Amino acid sequence: MLVENKEIVINGNVIKIAKVKDEWYTDVENPEKVIRALINSGLRADIFSFWQRFPNVEVKYSYYYEWEKLSILPIKSYKQWWEKQIHKSARNHVRQASKKGVSVEVVKFTDDLVRGIASIYNETKIRQGKIFPHYGDDLDKVRRENSTYLDKSIFLAAYCNEELIGFIRLILEEQFADIIQILSKIEHRDKAPTNALIAKAVEVCEKRGIPYLAYGEWGKGGLKEFKIYNGFELRQVPRYYVPLNFRGRIALKCQLHKGLIGMLPEKLIFFLLELRGRYYERAERKEEKQDLDPGFKVRKNA
């Protein structure tokens, strides 16, 4: 639904939270107008949440806020990034990619690229310890979901022997480039294509005079370590929560806007995520074993 010319989405089961869709690319210049419009719209929303887009990090409004943790890479030059900002292991991985024949190019959004992305999506059901949502996507869905914001998107493709083994999709804003997706084939992990893609993204930002490269939330675990090794830093922006009704006021007072997961201690969340990852990995190995054993289904159905 459009409110003040901004597309609004509503999430949440018990407490409904309204946000601006694609908020990475849309400023909320006049939150009071949006709030009044939401209250009068008849939408079933209890809280309106919005943030100040990076690099606008100073608190501007008096609403209740919490700090949103982002992964940001400041870019002055490729040389400084290479020599001063990244860990030596990241440099070694970029060199390793080159030695093993990986090349990274800026490419156009073509049918060949769509087919290559689909082959990466459909390599495995499990990524980073959870079910990968794009596994099984057909070409039409891959094309449709990667064709938004094409006017300000750049695709970087990592090739080895003419095979697409990894890609980044960047969306360019005035003050930052956002890594909307970065993915590589697990089969070619030994060639470090993801590190080579990050290096190319830094090079593109330098050439275009873009001072920051954004890589989503700060996160935890292995992905956070990967970001740190490649020079990303923790930066915070204020996220505001504005109650739209009585339920919203009670929810904020009781901290229910965070949901069940958000109310758990961070160490417990990490432990549960680890358990989930192990479960999915075991399930995938079992399924692979069944697929490789031609007699499994016969025995099962006997």
Predicted confidence (pLDDT) per residue in 221-278, tens digit:
888 999 999 999 999 999 999 999 999 999 999 888 876 655 556 665 556 556 665 6
Query: What is the rounded radius of gyration, in angstroms, for the C-alpha atoms of the chain?
Result: 22
**pTM, entire model:** 0.84
Q: Give the lowest-confidence range in 49-63, 219-233, 276-290.
A: 276-290
- The reply to whether omega before 55 is within 30° of 0 (cis) is yes
Residue 293 is predicted with a pLDDT of 45
CA 159 vs CA 78, 106, 138: distances in Å: 21, 11, 22
Closest CA to 230 of 85, 83, 105, 80: 85
Q: For residue 202, which of 78, 90, 79 has the smallest C-alpha distance?
A: 78
Average pLDDT score over residue span 146-160: 96
Residue boundaries of the structural domains of the chain: 2-68+238-263, 76-210, 270-301
pLDDT mean over 122-133: 85
**pLDDT tens-digit profile of 23-51?**
999 999 999 999 999 999 888 899 999 99
| Euclidean distance between CA atoms 131 and 277, whole angstroms | 9
Residue count of the chain, please give it.
302
Q: Considering only CA atoms, which of 87, 54, 94, 86 is closest in space to residue 215?
A: 54
Give the number of other Cβ atoms within 10 Å of residue 158's Cβ: 27
H runs (alpha helix) in the chain: 31-41, 78-80, 88-99, 111-121, 139-145, 193-208, 221-229, 246-253, 259-263, 266-292, 296-301
Mean pLDDT of the 80-92 span: 97
Which residue, chain included where needed, has tokens 């597309």? 7
**What is the pLDDT of the chain when averaged over all its residues?**
88
Range name among 140-144, 214-218, 257-261 with the lowest pLDDT average: 257-261
Name the one residue in this structure whose structure tokens are 């719209």: 41
Contact 166, 183 (CB under 8 A): yes
Handedness of CA 175, 88, 130, 68 (dihedral sign): negative
User: Is 181 within 8 Å of 187 (Cβ atoms)?
Assistant: no
Question: Counting beta carbons within 10 angstroms of the beta carbon of residue 267, is it exposed (0 to 12), middle (13 to 18) or buried (19 or more)?
Answer: exposed
* Fold held by 76-210: Aminopeptidase (3.40.630)
What pLDDT, on a 0 to 100 scale, did the predictor assign at position 4?
77
pLDDT surpassing 90 at residue 126 = no
Tokens of 155: 């695709």
